[in-house]
Amino acid sequence: MKVLSQNTAFGGMQGVFAHDSEACKGEMTFAVFVPPQAIKEPRPVLWYLSGLTCSHANVMEKGEYRRMAAELGLIVVCPDTSPRGNDVPDEITNWQMGKGAGFYLDATEQPWAENFQMYSYVTEELPNFVSQHFRMDMSRQGIFGHSMGGHGAMTIALKNPERFKSCSAFAPIVEPSTADWSMPAFEKYLGADKAAWREYDACALVADGARFPEFLIDQGKADGFLDNGLRPWLFEEAIKGTDIGLTLRMHERYDHSYYFISTFMDDHLKWHAERLG
């Protein structure tokens, strides 16, 4: 593990690290906040997945999570959103594809399949790696994220209910297989057969039988992406008739930015802490 930076915050440690990823065939960067309680005992782990165009740095610098994470004793891990590097395929003029837009799936189509294995990276390789270096209680894991990362968190939780005890999202893409800003990426990553897309679509996963105890979703009503990209009401409709719980909070005047995320970050951290024990 390569140490890129380490800083003390609220009695804990905020670090940025890099390692060679077998899944993504290159060096990957991630951030970890370790609360002061981890000096004495393993602590619960909360995974935060960022959105399109972002990296680990966006929430680390603007998410305002460290004070509450230190108070609650939560380790917060923030992976990157995609592989990086000069040899990684990209569409430079398309912010919805390539670097910064991994969609937390395992690509099957060329030229993306070689590097864009973000589902395997986030669910298998990175947890196995970080658990060797930090005092984590891997029996108590939660996951949350923003936008594309909210999509990732919800689909990962639905597919791994035995691993995660909590899941929440800020303005998630709940049905990416029909959203304007994700359909083209899904076709390029996964091919034209939309049956393959269902594995990475929260609404489709529920329709196909996937279950998770409950979700917390916060959404701003002034979000410019609400009607053609996010559409949380579709997930509300998808879980009708199931035992999945949903707390959906729609907020007047809030947009898609980190001003919105930082406003409700404490609520999400407390939500996870209650469920992680």
* Residue positions annotated with a catalytic role: 147, 223, 256
β 75-79/43-49 pair status: parallel
Contact 151, 104 (CB under 8 A): yes
> How far apart, in whole angstroms, are the C-alpha atoms of residue 153 and residue 146?
9
Please give the structure tokens belonging to residue 236: 């509300």
β 75-79/214-220 pair status: unpaired
| Radius of gyration in angstroms for the set of CA atoms belonging to the chain, rounded to a whole number | 17
Q: Is 144 helix (H, G, I), strand (E, B) or coil?
A: strand
Q: Is 130 helix (H, G, I), strand (E, B) or coil?
A: helix
> How far apart, in whole angstroms, are the C-alpha atoms of residue 18 and residue 14?
14
Residue 97 phi/psi, 5-degree rounding, is: -150, 145
What is the amino acid identity at position 59?
V
The gap between the terminal CA atoms of the chain, to the nearest Å, is 30
Q: Hey, what long-range contacts does 192-199 have (CB within 8 A, 24 or more apart)? A: 196/108, 199/105, 199/155, 199/159
> How far apart, in whole angstroms, are the C-alpha atoms of residue 52 and residue 30?
16
> How far apart, in whole angstroms, are the C-alpha atoms of residue 44 and residue 164?
11
